[in-house]
């Protein structure tokens, strides 16, 4: 991304992403309102889903032995929980969080 944008350096972009010191509440509120306007009606469903991402090594946050349905067994993986609002054939993801195991 930094290579494509002449106005921001790699270091600036890396700091912005890695520091992560911002309150996402306002952005999440706008996302929820927009999703509700686009697909929220009596035919809509709220889908809560867990996804396991198999991982190797020790450079990823939240990696631990967990059940991975895609592998059909317990393995080192990250687990994500997503919330999606869907109606008819239109899904809109409104939330995504990394599950952090106690270990």
Whether 84 shows a pLDDT value over 80: the answer reads: yes
* Phi/psi-derived region of residue 72, left when phi > 0, alpha when psi is between -120 and 50, beta in every other case: left
What's the predicted TM-score (pTM) here?
A: 0.69
The pLDDT of residue 70 is 86
Cβ count within 10 A of residue 35: 22
Residue 92 has what pLDDT?
A: 93
What are the tens digits of pLDDT across the range 5-45? 778 888 888 888 788 777 889 989 999 999 999 999 999 99
Looking at residue 22, its pLDDT comes to: 77
Say how many CA atoms lie within 13 Å of 34 toward its Cβ.
11
What confidence score (pLDDT) does residue 91 get?
A: 93
């Amino acid at each position: 991304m930094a290579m494509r944008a002449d106005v921001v350096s790699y270091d600036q972009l890396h700091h912005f992403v890695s520091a992560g010191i911002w309150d996402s509440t306002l952005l999440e509120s706008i996302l929820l309102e927009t999703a509700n306007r686009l697909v929220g009606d009596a035919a809509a469903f709220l889908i809560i889903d867990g996804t396991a991402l198999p991982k190797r090594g020790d450079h990823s946050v939240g990696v631990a032995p967990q059940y991975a349905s895609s592998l059909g067994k317990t393995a080192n993986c990250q687990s994500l929980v997503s919330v999606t609002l869907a109606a008819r054939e239109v899904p809109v993801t409104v939330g995504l969080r990394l599950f952090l195991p106690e270990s």
